[in-house]
Structure 1
Amino acid sequence: MDETDFLATRFEQHRGHLRAVAYRMLGSLAEADDAVQEAWLRLSRTDSSEIENLGGWLTTVVGRVCLNMLRSRQQRREEPLDPYVPDPVVERPDDVDPEHEAVLADSVGLALLVVLETLSPAERLAFVLHDLFAMPFDEIAPIIGRTEVATRKLASRARRRVQGTAPEPEGDLARRREIVDAFLAAARGGDLDALVAVLDPDVVVRTDGGRLRPSVVLRGPQEVARGATAFARIAEHTVPALVNGEPGAVAMADGKPISVAAFTVVGDRIVALDVLADPERIARLDLSALR
């Protein structure tokens, strides 16, 4: 095995971790793969004998690449997208892809990614690397060009935002699936009372329609229930799915997917529903296994 092959083998040992970091930073599997590939290119041009901790070095490189990508993305957007639902990881309920399982380890629900989209690039990096991957602040600070104290403050500010608006799912996955199925059944039947019964008092629905469809935010059981009954016809043609590891559904029309919905269930109540309904982005997702 020559030196390049040896280096590639060592890099592959870290690929899953790097992809997981990049996905949390960017909310896009395609962009995450781009960031990981850039890390490999930089490693291949570096004297690896001078790298004491390859995993740490690669994580730092991916962090810098993702930070630059987030800043560039922020500059390109003329107006803030509200809401913006990141690219979901969609699977059959009974067939989890091992590659996706590695990316979603330690829970990265779509509701969390939606909140991460509201953070500044520096806040997001500080929170993701420290709170989700236990990277010390003295190693994060040089990546964003801040002092360690300032980096701690960024992560703390991000943590407060996340804790206040991204609830963590509770209970058995099978039970959470039952709650989601009850919601869909009530929506199909136009049963407002049954819908309200499975909704949390502070429930929020965020629908990202992209450039071609209106984006919508609904809050409160009554408003959400009325909105669900208005889309009863769509609910009739849904396929159960796991969306970022949580119970979800893919709506179909003429055999083609038109939206992906992720539910967050806490205490037998739906507290959040995040829906990607952007036709352009839906078309780029690989949902063939659900058809």
Structure 2
Amino acid sequence: MPHLAFAALLGLTSLHAQDVLHLQDGRKLRGKVQRLASQSIAMLEVLPGGRGSAQRDIPPDQVAFIDFAPLPGEAEALADPANAAMEKRLLELWQEKSVNLRWPSNNAGLIGLTLAGQSMKSGDPLLIERAFRIYSLIEKEDWDEKRRDEAKRGRLRCLIQLKRIDEAIAEAQKLAESDEEPGLLLEAGLVLAQADFERLKIFEKDHPRWMEDDELAAARTKLYHQTLDQFLQAPLFHGSMEDKAAESLWGAVQVHLFAKENRAALDRARDLLQLYPKTSQAAEARKLLPSETPAPSPDQ
């Protein structure tokens, strides 16, 4: 019976996708990674030619990176995160894989970013708090620099949605002063604009008759123009980054609508349709201009 159980286990391992350890010397070991630790990597290696399997303990400094086999339901969950069942599976995958964030080439960070992005869309403060924790962990521990940068941007967006405005402003200012990566600089500027927009809303809520007081009117006007200018910086200076430029221009539309400047809002919506017609923000702008179609962009 022990031999039959072993054979069944080996057959199961062979039928499913295998983890692949890429060693520093160019060799590859295939099988199932059982444990990742700073002292050793435990692996049940499937021997070449179907000759059985062997338990291996490999020092991490001998491993260049690992191709981790996808877990059941992983591809489906990543492909359709808006599906409630798939979102639940993403959470399960994140809970299982996040402990290995620092190991190349683990895709735990991708799973976390997908789950956090979906949580952000919900508008539920509890889910946004969860997204904040996920982004924070990825920013700190993921082996992939691009995912760490994306997590940093996501964490800043969470602060805005959670109304932690002072924190968002402080972090965005620090980022704008210290980072030279264009995408992060643009994100910092957008976060500052969003934070100022929230401050503008709070100001008018706290001072509903601001227009009747010269000092309040001056303070409100200064904050209004500061907010609008920051939203318009990205379309002016970072137009090649279409998604963020469109998001910024849509922010300007929202500021105009908030200020009851409908004509200006429609003008910015037309700019958005003309400059970035394929973005999700253009689809929103089109709802304000249902009878209009975007003019061809200069490169079309």
TM-score class, shorter-chain normalisation, is: under 0.3
Greater RCO structure (CA 8 Å; 6+ sep):
1
Richer in helix (by share): 2
- Point out the structure with max Rg over C-alpha: 2
- Give TM-score, length-normalised by structure 2: 0.26
Higher strand share: 1
Output the TM-score relative to the length of structure 1: 0.26
